[in-house]
Amino acid sequence: MNYIVFDLEWNQPEDGLKTEERLLPFEIIEIGAVKLNEELEPVSKFNRLIKPQVYDTINWRIRKMLELKPGELEKGTPFPEAAAEFLEWCGSDYVFCTWGSQDLTELQRNLNYYDMPELSDRPIKYMNVQKMYGAMNGMPSQTRALEGAVDALGIDKDEPFHRAYADAYYTSKVLRLIPEEIRRKYKAYDVYHLPKSRKTQLKLKEGEKDILISTAYPTKEALMEDGIFTALHCVNCSGKAVKQRIRWHTLNQKVYDAAGRCKDHGYLASRIKIKHSDDGAVYGEKTTHYITEEEFLEMKKNVKKK
């Protein structure tokens, strides 16, 4: 099994949304990757510039960041050909690794735009190196920039940043320094394609947090009326149900909060973030964690004020 550490650069429109822009808000213009073996040793690299097909004008911020030369992208490979070469290079037994959570989604979105074969029809397990690096420093929710991580770890900066191959190269360097215990513990799933049913909803654990990602629902109301998804469960009681002490409530119709108490482990709070898939379906990401009695009472007080 190999680790495919990859990075994408993409262009985006400078003006208002048009029909094609809603289907492809970010057009990939470069793919860079490093292949590592099971011992995390580099064995191969991949780098392709891609000729734009949707947005001919390169956003000035993108051009400046990537230091693109005039006409450089015109010499690139069309996306379908470059993507096919990349996936063939990946092989058949691998796991994707990225810095952050967006690259795998955008790769699938671009594949879909060109009617290319899907990577999968369900969530894809991958390694979010940014989150693992944060966990290594005791802050799994940290979103530190790649260059900051490279500096903190004392990694030699022998490639310019903000090009696809260079960022994949540095991400692979960071990955190699993350302890095996953290690599095994922190799992990530890309949900460009949602779980197919309630039985296959994603259940993740990050330290003292439980995360549940739902299947698709036609509406937000249908999701919030599903008692199986909205039930509260203790993080450390093997999923034992907990009675709600503060019922689900919201301030903005996009984030819902509730709280309860486990007799063995104390107070806990759950938050559901309402999200939308590309096909218009609604899904929820529920995070549950312990809170202090003071935090519980403050939440209860704020709910009463509404």
Structure confidence by residue, pLDDT tens digits, 194-249: 999 999 999 998 878 999 999 999 999 999 999 999 999 999 987 789 999 999 99
pLDDT > 90? residue 179:
yes
- pLDDT band of residue 56 (cuts 50, 70, 90) is confident
The residue written with tokens 């199986």 in the block is 228
What pLDDT is attached to residue 161?
87
CATH of 2-185, one of 3.40.50.2300, 1.20.5.50, 3.30.420.10, 3.40.50.10140: 3.30.420.10
Radius of gyration of the chain (CA): 21
What pLDDT is attached to residue 17?
57
- Domain borders along the chain are 2-185, 197-305
pLDDT, one tens digit per residue, over 260-301 is 999 999 999 999 999 999 999 999 999 999 999 999 999 999
Q: Find the mean pLDDT for residues 28-45.
A: 97
- pLDDT band of residue 160 (cuts 50, 70, 90) is confident
pLDDT, one tens digit per residue, over 61-73 is 777 777 777 777 8
Taking Cα atoms as reference points, which of 114, 120, 108, 45 lies closest to residue 79?
Answer: 114
pLDDT, one tens digit per residue, over 235-255 is 998 778 999 999 999 989 899
Q: Find the mean pLDDT for residues 31-40.
A: 98
